[in-house]
């Protein structure tokens, strides 16, 4: 058992609590990782605010670090390896077998519930259990217990502070573009919402040579950054009719669209702005209802679909992202703002205020 400093959520409305926690030694199928950096994702904040979640809980799911020890059944990963952490999957269900691990039949259990399969806790504080295992990592701590299926080895010259978001937000945004939408240079692409996921999608669209790249975003600073990163058009939804503006710049309608907001009215506009045969992918965690015009959908051949984790197979896609990163074609560093881990509340505030796109906590 090791002792580590951690950022624990004890109440949905309270700041994170800085605590010393005890982390169990890795079992035969587990890996102990010393964290170097952890990205803060909107999903962490949604989970913290959920009143139904077991407390106390250790969140964090965009971790990157160095392997300390590995269990006896772990293969291909050794102490000293630099790793990016991602989501868990069983590897044996029909979806995993078909190369769709983001839709693993056991994904909810593996990524959301804070105990091992036998019910034993991995993390304790003050003698009591702390719910962990969030996305199979709970990386808001100096140490994290992971498993082989969600631990991706990367080259040691990759900056782990920049690589940390690759396992979730960058994978989600870039994967939606590169794995699902797959626009051609002659196509048009729009992203609604330019947070970490949306900006990653912009980077991917630029990297793949899409000719018309539009961003719909309320923050002026983020619109300016999107243009600097390669977007061709940006729109403030408070100033323009988004549907008409997108139809105008694309000559009749968008061919490929991504919604990161999960806001029903935004999704409705995204559908309305699609051209004939256009496709919208939605990744935002929304709970609203969108009315779909069935006649329009049939006549225009529009497609609307959801997407988790960019439909990625992480052990294949994370290396693609790191290669683009090293070649300078995916400048994720332009999105990252680093914070000392003790300053998590300031990082969260800056994220909510639009002052930073991707806050990353540093553990050293």
At 27-68, the pLDDT tens digits run: 999 999 999 999 999 889 888 888 657 789 999 999 999 999
Beta strands 254-259 and 188-192, pairing class? parallel
Listed range (3-17, 168-182, 250-264) with the worst mean pLDDT: 3-17
Token pair for residue 314?
A: 């992480």
**Helical packing angle, 196-207 and 220-229, nearest 10°:** 20
| Coil/strand/helix, residue 249 | helix
Beta strands in 13-62 (DSSP E): 17-23, 30-39, 57-58
Q: Which residues, other chains included, contact 253 with Cβ-Cβ below 8 Å and sequence gap of 6+? A: 246, 247, 273, 274, 275, 276, 278
What does the pLDDT look like over 207-238, one tens digit per residue?
Answer: 999 999 999 999 999 999 999 999 999 999 99
This prediction has a pTM of 0.95
- Mean pLDDT across the stretch 82-101? 97
pLDDT tens figures, 152-194? 999 999 999 999 999 999 999 999 999 999 999 999 999 999 9
Q: For residues 227 and 202, what is the distance between their CA atoms, to the nearest angstrom? A: 10
The predicted pLDDT at position 52 comes to 59
Q: Is the pLDDT of residue 127 over 90?
A: no
Which two three-digit tokens encode residue 38? Answer: 């952890």
Within 8 A by CB and 6+ apart from 195, the residues are: 42, 169, 222, 260, 357
Longest dimension (CA), the chain: 64
Phi, psi dihedral angles at 150 (to 5 degrees): -120, 20
Residues 21 and 172: their CA atoms lie apart, in Å, by 31
Domains and CATH numbers, the chain: 2-168+311-362 (3.90.180.10), 170-308 (3.40.50.720)
133: nearest Cα among 142, 124, 143, 123: 123
Question: Which of 300, 293, 290, 285 minimizes the C-alpha distance to 268?
Answer: 290
**What CA–CA distances, in Å, run from 141 to 197, 317, 330, 341?**
23, 26, 28, 9
Residues 303-345 have pLDDT tens digits of 999 999 999 999 999 999 999 999 999 999 999 999 999 999 9
**At residue 273, what are phi and psi to the nearest 5 degrees?**
-85, -5
Nearest-angstrom CA–CA distance, 326 and 306: 30
């Amino acid at each position: 058992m090791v002792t580590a400093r951690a950022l624990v959520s004890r109440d949905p409305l309270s700041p994170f609590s800085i605590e010393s926690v005890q982390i169990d030694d890795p079992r035969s199928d587990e890996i102990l990782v010393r964290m170097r950096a952890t990205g803060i994702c909107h999903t962490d904040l949604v989970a913290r605010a959920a009143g139904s979640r077991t407390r106390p809980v250790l969140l964090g799911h965009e971790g990157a670090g160095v392997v300390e020890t590995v269990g006896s059944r772990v293969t291909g990963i050794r102490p000293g390896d630099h790793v990016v952490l991602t989501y868990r999957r069983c590897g044996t269900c029909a979806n995993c077998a078909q190369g769709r691990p983001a839709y693993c039949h056991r994904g909810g259990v593996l990524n959301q519930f804070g105990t091992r399969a036998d019910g034993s806790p991995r993390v304790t504080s003050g003698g009591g259990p702390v719910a962990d295992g969030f996305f199979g990592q709970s990386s808001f701590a100096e140490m994290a217990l992971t498993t082989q299926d969600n631990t991706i080895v990367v080259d040691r010259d990759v900056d782990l502070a920049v690589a940390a978001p690759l396992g979730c937000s960058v994978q989600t945004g870039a994967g939606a573009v590169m794995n699902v939408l797959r626009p051609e240079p002659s196509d048009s692409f729009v992203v609604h919402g330019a947070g970490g996921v949306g900006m990653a999608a912009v980077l991917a669209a630029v990297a793949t040579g899409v000719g018309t790249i539009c961003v719909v975003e309320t923050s002026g600073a983020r619109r300016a950054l999107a243009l600097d990163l390669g977007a061709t058009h940006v729109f403030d939804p408070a100033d323009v009719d988004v549907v008409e503006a997108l139809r105008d710049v694309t000559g009749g309608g968008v061919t490929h669209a991504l919604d990161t907001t999960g806001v029903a009215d935004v999704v409705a506009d995204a559908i309305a702005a699609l051209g004939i045969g256009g496709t919208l992918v939605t990744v935002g965690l929304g709970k609203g209802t969108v009315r779909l015009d069935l006649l329009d959908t049939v006549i225009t051949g529009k497609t609307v679909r959801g997407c988790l984790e960019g439909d990625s197979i992480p052990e294949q896609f994370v290396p693609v992202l790191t290669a683009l990163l090293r070649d300078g074609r995916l400048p994720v560093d332009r999105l990252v703002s680093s914070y000392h881990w003790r300053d998590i509340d300031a990082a969260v505030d800056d994220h909510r205020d639009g002052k930073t796109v991707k806050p990353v906590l540093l553990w050293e």
